Structure 1
Amino acid sequence: MKIFYLVLLFQASLQLECDKEITAHVGGEFILKCKYGINHFLYSKKYWCRGPSRSNCEIVADSENSRNTHRSQVIDLNRRGLFVKVTNLRFDDAGAYWVGIDKIYADIMTQVKVIITEVPVSKPRLWPLSSLVDRPTCWGKSVTLRCGCAKGTGVRYAWYQHIDRKDFLLHKSSDLYLHCGAVQKDCSYFCIGSNDISSEKSELISVQVLMPANSSCIYVVNIQGQPIYDCADRMSTTTVTTPTLTSCLVIMNISDNTRNQSLQLNETTQGFFFIRSLTGLPLWYILLRWSSFLALLIIICTAVKCTRRRYKKYANQKKNIHCRRIYHACQ
């Protein structure tokens, strides 16, 4: 009996040839091409059935369109071959199938194994949920970054921190929440999207810490494809601030005619030339500007005064000459 079964399989393999295994992605489609003996089975019905064995197989579609579904088709193109097309694949479509040809006494059948896998993930793209054009990080505000793959099914996301040439897993999520407490020093972040069959890594996000959280919390986030910005103006108004006034007690002995007494003088030291006024400019700059203005004003006043003197002297000379002419004329 086993020998007879093997002979039937051998004859079937000669009369009907198909791929033994086909792999496709969920949501996609596949087309299985087969060859068969045109001289013997040109007008025979061909079918596509599902089941673990020849005797236990449920016909899904056939070449006469009597059992074709909206997802499965059997297309007989005669000499060009026999095609089985299945679309909109689902995970439950995986399993054992058979391609068969109607024949008296015993059909010609060959088994095909269908494997359905996840769609491979594409390279993750990174973007902020709020715009970076307003530079919120320059004022220590938090930023949420999102990781997403344009292609892929069943994608799982994980965020990593790259620091000191090492990668550390932060959490498994599509979002990364950056805030002053989490950003301590310069580092990079990246996201990995993966499923059961593939894995892809995103571009690096560069985070530069200009001032730590215990100061004013200023940091810059650079993402490829996003606007590039800096916090130079914020740094210029933050780094040169009014220095902390430091007080020291200096004890001075003052001699009097009647008695000696010790006085405690509270001396305040501060960077005078770096004190900022209400306008945010250093005091030395304001003094220099007003001094220049005052010098220019003095020069202008002097020039005007000299001009008036010259004009007055010239007028007196002209008047004297006129008087002399009149005097000579009278003589």
Structure 2
Amino acid sequence: MRTLCLLLLLHSSLQLQCDKREIRAYTGDEFMIVCKYDHARFLFSKKYLCRGESKNTCKILRDTDDVAKTQSTNRVSIIDRHRAGFIVKVTNLQTEDSDFYWIGIDKIYADIMILVKVIVTEVPVSKPSVWPLTPLLDGPTCWGKPVTIRCGAPKGSGVFYAWYQQMHHKRLLLHSSTDITFHCGVVTEDSEFYCSANNSISSEQSDIVSVQVLIPASSNCIYAVNIQGQPIYDCKGRISTTVSETSPTMTYIEPTKTTFGTSEQFLQVNQTTTPAFFHRTWSGVPLWYEMLRWGSFTVLLISLCIVTSCTQNGHRQYDM
């Protein structure tokens, strides 16, 4: 009995032979199976692809008579090249296509069938890249404008994206999306961010996106975003402008050298505290100094006159 089964199996294999018995593929891929058969006996017989673990209960997806009609018919094709055999092709594979399939030839009493196992998995995720949707060299962050950073993996199917913030050796999930937007009120301190890309079989994360907060504010803040591979910029121009608008203005006059005897003085004037009247000069000497000198001279002269007058009156009284 055992010998009879082996002979029947050998006889069946001589009637139908296929080049693949197990197929592993990724979603979106396709597979093709080339089969040879006894064209002397089955040249005009129907060939078909049947799905299911049991050949007795499997469902025919496509046949050479174009009778079977299923949802997968448009992705399945069978081409009978007669003496050169026939080809079974399935395109745009999905994970739900993973199953057992039978390639068969219609035969009276018992079809000739060969089992093929198909395993379809997601495409592994490659390392995602991050890039700004707004050119950073234009300095939008220096003027407190929002900037959106996008994340995308070159390879991978069924990919899910998420943005994380790295803080004190801990990671905080921000949201699940390909994009993240930085703006005033959200970026309050220096932080690091990264994007995670994953599917059912693999996971990868992007390079770090660092955000440096130069002047925090709910609006009109100043911050810089640094992305590896992107041009580096800073906000020095905006910072200097902001500081000059909020700080007292010091005006330095070209040092003026004046000599009085052996002493030398250099004048530095603060416009925010010194009246403009004292900025004037006369013959290279500050006006206030001339007024002080002449005022002192006048007081001295008046004092001398008073003393002289008092002395004369004293002599007169003495003579009388």
Corresponding residue for 1:170?
Answer: 173
Q: TM-score, normalised by structure 1?
A: 0.61
Preserved contact between residue 166 and residue 172 of structure 2 (Cα < 8 Å): no
What's the CA shift for 1:140?
A: 3.1
Aligned-partner SS, 1:138: helix
Residue type matched to 1:155 in 2?
V
Corresponding letter in the other structure for 2:47: K
Q: State the alpha-carbon separation in 1 of the partners of residues 214 and 65 from structure 2.
A: 74
Shift of 1:109: 0.9
The SS at the match of 2:136 is: coil
SS state of the match for residue 180, structure 2? strand
Choose the corresponding residue for 2:222, options 215, 218, 222: 218
In the TM superposition, what is the alpha-carbon distance from 1:33 to its structure 2 partner?
3.1
Offset, 1:87: 1.9
Q: How far off is 1:194 after superposition? A: 1.4
**Is this contact kept in 2: 1:161–1:170, CA < 8 A?**
yes
Looking at structure 2, the residues matched to 85 and 205 of structure 1 have their Cα atoms a distance apart, in angstroms, of 45
- In structure 2, the partner of 1:98 is 102
Structure 2 portions without partners, runs of 5+: 257-266, 268-282, 284-320
Partners of 2:192 and 2:6 in 1: CA distance: 63
The aligned counterpart of 1:25 is 26
Q: Give the match for residue 288 of structure 1.
A: 254
Contact 1:48 1:61 in 2 (8 A): yes
Instruction: Give yes or no for the alignment of 1:50 onto 2:54.
Output: no
Q: What is the match of residue 160 of structure 1?
A: 164
Partner of 2:111: 107
Aligned-pair CA distance for 1:54: 1.6
State the distance in 2 between where 1:73 and 1:242 align.
Answer: 75
Aligned to 2:207: 203
Matched residue count: 255
2:148 alignment counterpart: 144
Query: Once the two structures are superposed, what CA deviation does each residue of 1:170-193 show, in whole Å capped at 9, x if it has no partner?
Result: 234223232344434444322121
Contact 2:185/2:218 (8 A) holds in 1: no
Match of 1:55, SS state, is: coil
The equivalent residue for 2:291 is none
Amino acid at match of 1:21: E
> What displacement does 1:96 show?
2.1
Question: Which secondary structure state, in structure 2, belongs to the residue aligned with residue 159 of structure 1?
Answer: strand
SS of the residue 1:283 aligns to? coil
Instruction: Supply the AA of the counterpart residue of 2:251.
Output: L
Q: Aligned letter for 1:283?
A: T
Question: What is the distance in 1 between the residues matched to 2:8 and 2:57?
Answer: 17
* Identical amino acids, percent of aligned pairs: 53
102 and 91 in structure 1: CA distance in 2 versus 1, 3 angstrom threshold: same
What's the Cα RMSD here?
Answer: 4.0
- Stretch of structure 1 that moved more, 30-39 or 189-198: 30-39
1:129 CA drift (Å): 4.5
Q: What TM-score results when the alignment is normalised by the length of structure 2?
A: 0.62
SS at match of 1:288: coil
Aligned equivalents of 2:112, 2:254: Cα separation in 1:
103
Structure 1 residue 56, shift from structure 2 partner: 1.6
CA contact (8 A) 1:192 1:201 kept: yes
Shift of 1:225: 6.0
Following TM superposition, by how much is the alpha carbon of 1:132 offset from its aligned partner in structure 2, in angstroms? 3.4
CA contact (8 A) 2:184 2:220 kept: no
